[in-house]
Structure 1
Amino acid sequence: MQFNSYIFILLFLPLAIIGYYGLNALGKEKLAKVYLLVMSLWFYDYFNVIYLVIICASIAVNYLLSKGMSLLDGNRRKITLLFGIIFNVGLIFYFKYKNFFISNINEAFGTGFHLQKVILPLGISFFTFQQIAYIVDSYKGETKDYGFIEYALFVTFFPQLVEGPIVLHSEIIPQFRDKSKWKVDYDNLSKGFMMFARGLTKKVLIADAFGVAVEWGFSVASSTPLGEGALTIWEIIIVMLSYTFQIYFDFSGYSDMAIGLGLMFNIVLPANFNSPYKALSIIDFWKRWHMSLTRFLTKYIYIPLGGNRKGVWRTYLNIMIVFLVSGIWHGANWTFILWGLIHGAFQCINRAGKGIYTKCIGFAERLPVAKVWISLIQVVQWVVTFIIINVAWLLFRADSVGQFTQIMSRLTVHNYSIRTELLESFRIPKIRYLFALLGQNPSEMFTLGLSTVVVMMTALFIVLILPNNGQCQYKKSKLNLVCTFIMMIICMISLSKVSTFLYFNF
């Protein structure tokens, strides 16, 4: 079941809210948790009943392992932890990477191992990482005596189940135990509804609109990679920017919806998104993009590897390992792996260049109109960072490394034409009427080109200037609620044309 579907908005969500608070109001707090757990499993089961079997087995095994560790000590405790990590990593490997591994073995050694049809459970990377964190914390003695229902609800709570944020037991289970959160909080309910509507708007009206251009671009790249009819320089730039904005509004929209849904149940989920395209470096970008994944990788991989405590070169190695894991986590394709390594490499370059940056800022501060020079340095930083992010996203979206290199090679072919099929994706309705009012009758190509520029600049304005979800003030007022309902109605009308969230694939 998807957040952007009629059955979720009109049936599932009302039933979940009414049933949960209704049982709590009757003093059936334990039953209310069971009810919310069952609803969350229904939400997940709606995609495929096999998913339900897999996640339930995963929950049961991890819960038993965590309980077992509390009864063991010494080497037996370590062996149990090691088994738990192998079990969870093995689960992801089988469903997500088995065929990728076999196909690469076949290609490298000319073998003919058969590829099996494997159903990839949605959100397996998310709920598996959550449970790895849990058993590691259990080994450290940092988990409390949680009951099975509480643990299962922590893993399956539907707002964060299939696309994050990756939550920790210490920030979720205590909230379900907090009696003050068992009653309806109308401020949280209205705030959550407004956040949900905002996220739905980002997904339906913005992300999917850019998705049309992206699909066209990669369709052309697949059918005509080189020669006449291949993508031109301006088409590549437009498609690249379109994907940059599509994945931003898609993931940002989901994050807003997830946090809003959590608030409807008085559960505060951690922020997962903080205006990442405002970043002035790749280090800054990863403090803003997919923040819960960054937190997990830092706490459970980077720090145990030694972090930055074992010298410069060991720090760089640890960073590259972390981003290799990040790339692998995103998907079974060399494009994801290289994407992760590129981000890791630029993280290392950022660290190595900190001294140069500090000297540049120090020099600028001694110049006349120092603020202007410092601002200029920051603009250059932003431009370089944004270009790196864009090119990396193009690799991330490509079907293969070969397709990416073919697209990039087209940038050396001096063809600057743009096909109307691509520009049609950005057509602003009724824009010709505006020109008619001004007594103008521009060409169709000019109209489409202007529409494209306006759409791109508007998207850039939103991601760079407007406040992000965490900065917005969601006040319960008649005007805000009316505007929210209007947005919801507009989005509901468009739901039949809506695609799945991009991170559903991870």
Structure 2
Amino acid sequence: MLFNSHVFILAFLPVMLLGYTLLGHTVGRRPAQLFLVAGSLFFYGWWDASYLPLLIATTVFNYMVGRRLTDAYRRNTPSRRPLLAFGITVNLAILAYFKYATFFVENLEALTGLDFAMRAVVLPLGISFFIFQKIAYLADSASGKAPDYDFLGFCLFVSFFPQLIAGPIVHHRDVMGQFQRPIREVLTARNFALGVTFFTIGLFKKVMIADNLAPLAQASFVSFAAGEVLGAVSAWRGALAYAFQLYFDFSGYSDMAIGLGLMFGIRLPYNFNSPYKANSIIDFWRRWHMTLSRFLRDYVYVPLGGNRKGPTRRYLNLLLTMLLGGLWHGAAWTFVLWGGLHGFYLMVNHAWQKLRATLGWTAPAGPAGSLVARAVTFVAVVVGWVFFHAPSLGAALDMLQSMAGMNGLSTVKAAGTVQGVTELAGAAGGGAAAQDGRLASLWSFVAARSSDLVLVLLLLVAWFAPNSQEIVEAADRRRGWLAIRWQPTATWAVVVAGCLLATMTQMSKVSAFLYFQF
């Protein structure tokens, strides 16, 4: 069941909201939470009920191990470290089997020439997210940072459906305290209005922007995978389309998750803060997939030593952390290279900051300098997305070669290029068939130019427009035409309702979120 489906919006969500509200106001918090857990498990099982036992078993296992670790910490017993290692190993083994077993066997077969006849393993939905969530809980239990949670509260923390499938990667301290508050205090009209607004913005991003960019983004990558050679214009068009498709798809999901949480009185952490406005790669990772960045920092980078063991070790830790972050996204060498590339970016960024400090270049760059830094960062990120999305390493390298201009500006005639237009304008005669061909070429040119205009507009939106939380939470205190701020008024209610209804009319074909595959 997807957030962007009619069955979710018109059936599942109203039933869950009504049941949770009625139980919370008439019977009490715990029966309402039990209802929410049951509904969340139903939501997960809608995709494939055969993986429900896995979700339930990992929940029970991690709760029991977490309680043992908390007790061991209080008594300062020596069994704490082996128990933590055991718990983390079990979680990673589950993740490794479902996500990386096929990848490992395929590479082993390539190296040895043997055929292990292993069937592809179906990846359970959301496993990368809820396994990381539980590993963080075990690590905090072992260090005394996780209080004693009751089993029902822990189950709700793990299975809460707004964040179950594709994040954000919710930390126990983000929400467990909220689950203990009286339902009457959190189920307010303002929270519900905020939630509906967030959800509508996210749904609009997904359905109206990301889904409509998908064909344009896919066209170039499919061409390169098929061995075709495209020019720089077409290659950059595809890369930029995917960059915006991924952003609006995943940020749209995160907005919907935040909105759904608020409808139930739970505030989930933000996952995006205008990442394409970043002026450096360091800044980008503070803005993009913020909960994953927090997990990698707290549970990978810092345990590796962070920046406490000298610059060389710091750079190595950055590289290892990003390599693991890339592998977390998918079992393919393209993801490993994407992570390694961002690790290299971060190393260069930190080295540049150190050089600037050494030379005393601490003055602000100014508007022009900030815009140049933003553009350089954005281009570096888009180059990385080529590895992230390409079906193979060869296709990624071919596309990057074209983006670098090594195959010319365009190798496709009459498909939106200056060369094609010149030939079209110079052609004459040829009968009806030739006329139809010229009209088709002209239409291709117009379509390409329209796509380019859309990409430019999306770039301006990503660089200069306020983001979801700035609009809904009124966090942006700027004045002027960009300072759009939501208010709980009748006017805004009509605007949000209109956007929601208009978007729902375009949901004839439900498409999965891109991060579901991770």
Does residue 389 (structure 1) correspond to residue 374 (structure 2)? The answer is no
Matched, 1:97 2:109: no
Offset at 1:377?
A: 2.6
- Whether contact under 8 Å (2:204, 2:500) holds in the other structure is yes
**Cα shift at 1:418:** 5.3
Flag the 1:402–1:148 CA change in 2: closer, same or farther, 3 A: same
Q: Percent identity?
A: 40
Taking the TM superposition and a 5 Å limit, the aligned residue runs for 1:25-36 are 25-36=25-36
Equivalent of residue 490 in structure 1, options 488, 502, 509: 502
Q: Aligned residue pairs: how many? A: 477
Query: 2 CA distance for matches of 1:300 and 1:415?
Result: 45
- Residues 35-91 of structure 1, C-alpha deviations (whole Å, 9 max, x = no match): 000011111000001221111111011111112223435332211111100001111
TM-score, length-normalised on structure 2? Answer: 0.88
Structural mapping, 1:95-494, within 5 Å: 95-179=98-182, 184-223=187-226, 225-226=227-228, 230-358=229-357, 362=361, 374-410=366-402, 411-417=405-411, 444=443, 447-473=446-472, 474-494=486-506
**Post-superposition shift, 1:388?**
0.8
Range moving further from structure 2, 382-391 or 120-129: 382-391
Q: Which residue of 1 aligns with 2:57?
A: 57
Change (3 A) 1:361 1:76: closer
Flag the 1:295–1:236 CA change in 2: closer, same or farther, 3 A.
same
Instruction: Name which of structure 1's ranges 349-358 and 484-493 shifts more when overlaid on structure 2.
Output: 349-358
SS at match of 1:303: helix
- 108 and 460 in structure 1: CA distance in 2 versus 1, 3 angstrom threshold: same
Structure 1: distance between partners of 2:22 and 2:400: 57
1:315-369, Cα deviation, whole Å (9 max, x unpaired) = 1111111101100110000011110010011101000011444578849x6xxxx
Q: Please give the secondary structure, in 2, of the residue aligned with 1:332.
A: coil
SS of corresponding position for 2:504: helix
For residues 288 and 183 of structure 1, what CA distance do their matches in structure 2 show? Answer: 28
Decide whether the 8 Å contact of 2:44 with 2:52 is kept in 1. yes
Shift of 1:402: 1.4
Comparing both chains, which one has the higher relative contact order based on Cα–Cα distances under 8 Å and sequence gaps of 6 or more? 1
SS state at 1:307 partner: coil
Distance 2:444 2:471 in 1: 38
1:83 to 86, 89, 113: 86
* Whole-angstrom CA distance in 2 between matches of 1:307 and 1:504: 30
Q: Per the alignment, do residues 405 and 362 of structure 1 end up closer, same or farther by CA in structure 2, a change over 3 Å counting? A: closer
- Say whether the 8 Å CA contact 2:416–2:449 is kept in structure 1: no
Q: Is the 8 A contact 2:416 2:444 kept in 1?
A: no
Asked whether the 8 Å contact 2:66–2:142 carries over to 1, the reply is yes
Taking structure 1 as reference, are residues 74 and 421 closer, same or farther at Cα in structure 2, changes over 3 Å only?
Answer: farther
Between the aligned partners of 1:202 and 1:264, the Cα distance in structure 2 is: 19
Distance 1:96 1:307, change over 3 A: same
- Tell me, what secondary structure is at the counterpart of 2:32? helix
Deviation at 1:142, TM superposition (A): 1.7
| Structure-1 separation of matches of 2:149 and 2:80 | 19
The Cα RMSD (Å) is 2.0
- Shift in CA distance, 239/361, structure 1 to aligned 2, threshold 3 Å: farther
Q: TM-score, normalised by structure 1?
A: 0.90
The 1:455–1:114 alpha-carbon spacing in structure 2 relative to 1, beyond 3 Å, is: same
Residues 279-336 of structure 1, C-alpha deviation per residue, up to 9 Å, x if partnerless?
1111110000000001111111111221111100111111111101100110000011
* Structure 1: segments with no counterpart, 5+ residues: 366-370, 424-441
- Distance of aligned partners of 1:323 and 1:471 in 2 relative to their CA distance in 1, 3 Å threshold: same
- Secondary structure of the residue that 1:46 maps to in structure 2? helix
Looking at structure 2, the residues matched to 421 and 43 of structure 1 have their Cα atoms a distance apart, in angstroms, of 45
Alignment partner, residue 439 of structure 1: none
Cα pair 1:175 1:181 within 8 Å, conserved:
no
* Distance in 2 between residues matched to 1:296 and 1:58, nearest whole Å: 19
